[in-house]
Amino acid sequence: DQQVKQNSPSLSVQEGRISILNCDYTNSMFDYFLWYKKYPAEGPTFLISISSIKDKNEDGRFTVFLNKSAKHLSLHIVPSQPGDSAVYFCAASAWNTNAGKSTFGDGTTLTVKP
Amino acid sequence: DTAVSQTPKYLVTQMGNDKSIKCEQNLGHDTMYWYKQDSKKFLKIMFSYNNKELIINETVPNRFSPKSPDKAHLNLHINSLELGDSAVYFCASSQPGQGTYEQYFGPGTRLTVT
């Protein structure tokens, strides 16, 4: 049972436009959500996170939106740059269980075309 | 100055052999993890240690044995390697008690079993 899903395996956008990556979860106990970015032959790196008490968190060009009732979150990248081309993983945690264990989605490969 | 390091980066070995992967973090974190990323790119947690104590042990064959000599190190030993063990293995660390759950990943070890 995959508790965190990223239904789009890939996304291609033009440089300067908005990239929207989506993530759905099923476990209502999740209360902290994270996005990671991964380049080939490297480990994932933390990008941005959001707690379940918020519905939006912004950091520069990156904004994460959380819709708890729909169990859905999205990552917006504006404007997209070629250097943003990478695999993006969504992850979810439940703070009071398993000391920080995160469940990951299967990733979306973003390609930003110059 | 590398935060989470793993050795070796590449490991090619034959079925039936025993091998180890080492991980070290210099972030002062209490919690460390091992993940397996298979050919479908899915990141699946295998083990987690908090201050040298095993706290997460997902459904992983007994051939996999983690060892944490101190909280900065988490090694993974694999006995009787099988073809299906071929994957990229990532080590990560975090400090979940600080109200965030971001994890810091190593560069990965690509294991190929022939």
Calculate mean pLDDT across residues B12-23.
Answer: 97
Does residue B1 register a pLDDT over 70?
Answer: no
**What is the rounded (10 degree) CA torsion for B36, B37, B39, B42?**
120
**Hey, what amino acid is at B62?**
N
Q: Which residue's entry shows tokens 């379940």?
A: A52
pLDDT score at A96 = 66
Report phi then psi at B26, rounded to 5: -115, 25
User: What residues have CB less than 8 Å from A53, skipping those under 6 apart?
Assistant: none
Q: Is residue B42 less than 8 Å (CB to CB) from chain A? A: yes
CB burial of B82-103 (b: ≥16 within 10 Å; e: otherwise) equals eeebbbbbbbbbbbbeeebbbb
Which residues of chain B have a CB within 8 Å of the CB of A34? Answer: 101-102
Collect all residues from A whose CB is shorter than 8 A from any CB in B. 32, 34, 36, 41-46, 49, 87, 89, 93, 95, 98-104, 106-107
Please report, in tens digits, the pLDDT of each residue of chain A (114 residues total).
Answer: 789 999 999 999 999 999 999 999 999 989 999 999 999 989 999 999 999 999 999 999 999 999 999 999 999 999 999 999 999 999 998 876 655 688 999 999 999 999
Band (pLDDT 50/70/90 cuts) for residue B51 is: confident
Per-residue pLDDT of B55-105, as tens digits, reads 888 878 999 999 999 989 999 999 999 999 999 999 999 987 666 788 999
